[in-house]
A and B are shown apart, each in its own frame.
Chain A
Amino acid sequence: MGLIENLKSYSEEIQISDDKKDLLDSFLSNGFPTTKDEEWKYTSLKKVIANEYNIENKGQVVDDSVIEKYSLGFENQIIFSDGKLINTPTIKGVSISGFSEFESNTNDSILDLNKSLSQNGFTISVDKNTVVESPIEILFISTTETNFSQYRNLISIAENAEVKFVERIQNLNNSSSFVNNFTRINCDKNTKIEYNKIQNNTSESQLIDTVNVYQEQDSTCDINTLLFGGSFTRNNLNFEQNGFNCESNMNGVSVLDNNQLADNHTFVDHKSAHCRSNEMYKGIYLDNSKGVFNGKIMVRPDAQKIDAFQSNNNLLLSENSSIDSKPQLEIYADDVKCSHGCTIGQLDADALFYMRSRGIGVEEAKAVLTYAFASEAIENISVDQVKLLSKKLLAQKLNVELDFSV
């Protein structure tokens, strides 16, 4: 038995529409992607899906103390407890409700599975000209043992609106949970969005997280992925730029130890001229951890005057850690500026000695240098609480008591 069998028996019990049933059946006959699939070449789901899972949420509603523990304390909180929406904030110019049906527009079997099974998630619409001052915090809390859950979320931001999000998925028990989370973000003209993902789930947690962003003219969308916890994480970030003067920014920091695996897959589809994309991913790998980075930039034939920048820098802090990094550029326009760079290395021995000669202990010196390495991406985050938490989690992960907050 394994997840596929669990899903098969579940599919016989549930009542879903014919369309969804077809999607599910086709998924079940093909199975999860394997390493033979180009997009999953370095990341094997084999172990993840060998586990048994509960497909339905059967947990208890959590109390406030739990929420307090995992929240950053923003006034606007959307909280899910075992899939149930238990708190929605009231914000002027913003309507927030639970799950709704929508298309994913991407050919991805994981998203087909998500569509066929999803019953939970949020729907957010931000009205024209609305500027939401305080970030909207989204917490997905799960208490169900060995749960395989799907969330399907839609964010639509109307013209000239501005909004920031902080999202966290948290499992409250140490069973191996698996989340398939999908968020679609529609950015209308001249909108500004920042979406921060704090991924610090328990050591048995597994996650496939997909965000599809559709941008119209003059919109800016930043997605920051701060990855510290979880045993298996696959992040898919897809941007589609459909109008002039769009800007897509991605910052990623992954700090992994033990046997953690994290795969950051990004795709920027420059379909329109005079647009920009900036991508900065920093990976820090300790112990037996493994990282994968795949960054694809596509510049379509009519998308002239594109400025696309991508960097992926990796620190291997142990003999047994590894990273597979693959930048991919496909450029069909002739007047564009694209650059990409990938580095893999260790801490600089001269810098280490320099710090030690100033009285800083070797572990602390390593931590400071590692922090310095990651800080370039962390500093791009505009939400201070997220920045601070990232620094705190980084120090924790490196096992030092250092305050990086000044």
Chain B
Amino acid sequence: MLKVKNLKAGIEDSQILKGINLEVNAGEVHAIMGPNGSGKSTLASVITGKEEYEVVEGNIDFEGDDLLELSPEERAQKGVFLSFQYPVEIPGISVSNFIKTSISEQRKATGMKPMTTKDLLKMMRDKMELLNIKNGYLSRNMNQGFSGGEKKRNEIFQMAMLEPKLSILDETDSGLDIDALRIVANGVNKLKNKNNATIVITHYQRLLDYIVPDFVHVLHNGRIIKSGGKELALELEEKGYDWITKESDKKWA
């Protein structure tokens, strides 16, 4: 589904990603872990098309499309979704209006018929139930005055509504208490199927107790320095990052 090859990217003069290789197939869950500043969020931003980042080398293939040639909205329309680390507050537009616009624009772009209001509302209710979201939420302004947990839940709600092929969850666990974490993880697990894939970006192993990855990658200083199965996450939790980052620093010194 996603093939990232030798991706080098940065912002202004500083290079952040120094040659990322990553392949994600349908039905898989990948975790990208790493210390602060390793480039995790940059990778998410480059895949989704944030304009401040400049790609200097490499490519990103998504189901045969060169993602780097596409605008952020085209990437989303192809099925790429980012759950933001810091979801943006948009006063003056309700959650339901936002999601309605998003769905109708995506359907328009992919040549699908618009969804009827009835179907849309039914889908919203079903997905709200899945994520334990209370009534009244839909008419609130997008993320305005939301707690950290509510914002993250709103991201997963959008993911549930948009049904992307590839979901990138950027630090979705930060700011969540354990109950909210369980609800969010449960939602993600229920949305998982053999046709979609998930990349979970996290600093801590905690989230991976609930969203069990097929692969774990350690990102450090702009490179994936180690990949493994889910047991790698547990090892990192126990030993910290130092034991592998030191090794890698020696290699690239």
Contacts and interface: CB of A to CB of B under 8 A. Distances in A.
B14 to A, nearest CB: 20
**Most chain A Cβ neighbours within 10 Å, of B72, B82, B84, B100:** B72
Contacts of B102: 355, 358-360
Contacts of A359: 73, 76-77, 102, 105-106, 109, 162
A375 B92 contact: yes
A371 B71 contact: no
B92 A373 contact: yes
Interface of A: 348, 350-351, 353-362, 364-365, 368-369, 371-376, 402, 404, 406
Given A376-B92, A406-B97, A357 B109 contact: no
Contacts, number: 79
A406 B100 contact: yes
Contacts of A406: 94, 96-97, 100, 117
A361 B89 CA distance: 19
B88 A348 contact: yes
B109 A354 contact: no
A374 B92 CA distance: 8
Interface stretch (B21-29, B45-53, B226-234): B45-53
Across the A-B interface, the 5 shortest Cβ-Cβ residue pairs = A372-B92, A359-B76, A359-B106, A356-B72, A358-B102
B132 interface: no
B88 A360 contact: no
A373 B93 CA distance: 9
Contacts of B75: 357
Interface of B: 48-51, 71-73, 75-77, 81-82, 84, 87-94, 96-98, 100-102, 105-106, 109, 117, 158, 162
A359 B75 CA distance: 7
B81 to A, nearest CB: 8
B162 A376 contact: no
Contacts of B72: 353, 356-357
A402 B158 CA distance: 20
A354 B82 CA distance: 9
A355 B99 CA distance: 10
A376 B91 contact: yes
Contact of B76 (A357, A369, A372): A357
A404 B87 CA distance: 22
Contacts of A355: 90, 98, 102
B96 A364 contact: no
A361 B88 CA distance: 17
A365 B158 CA distance: 16
A355 B48 CA distance: 12
Describe B's contact surface by its main secondary structure: helix
A368 B101 contact: yes
Nearest to A370: B92
Contact of A357 (B49, B89, B93, B94): B49
17 contacts: A353-B50, A354-B88, A354-B90, A356-B72, A357-B48, A357-B72, A357-B73, A358-B106, A359-B76, A359-B105, A359-B162, A362-B71, A368-B101, A372-B92, A373-B92, A374-B92, A406-B94
Contact of B93 (A353, A356, A361, A375): A375
Contact of A371 (B49, B76, B92): B92
A223 B171 CA distance: 47
A360 B90 contact: no
Nearest to B102: A358
A364 B105 contact: yes
A364 B100 CA distance: 13
Contacts of A402: 101
Contacts of A362: 71, 73
A86 B93 CA distance: 42
Contacts of A368: 93, 98, 101
B84 A358 contact: no
A375 to B, nearest CB: 4
Given A364-B101, A404-B97, A406-B96, A358 B158 contact: yes
A360 B73 contact: yes
Contacts of A348: 88
A369 B90 contact: yes
A406 B158 CA distance: 18
A373 B89 CA distance: 12
B186 to A, nearest CB: 23
Given A355-B102, A357-B81, 15 more contacts: A351-B90, A354-B84, A357-B49, A357-B84, A359-B105, A359-B162, A361-B109, A362-B73, A369-B93, A372-B90, A372-B91, A372-B92, A372-B93, A402-B101, A406-B94
Contacts of B96: 406
A355 B98 CA distance: 9
A356 B90 contact: no
Nearest to B74: A359
A358 B90 contact: no
Nearest to A348: B88
B71 A356 contact: yes
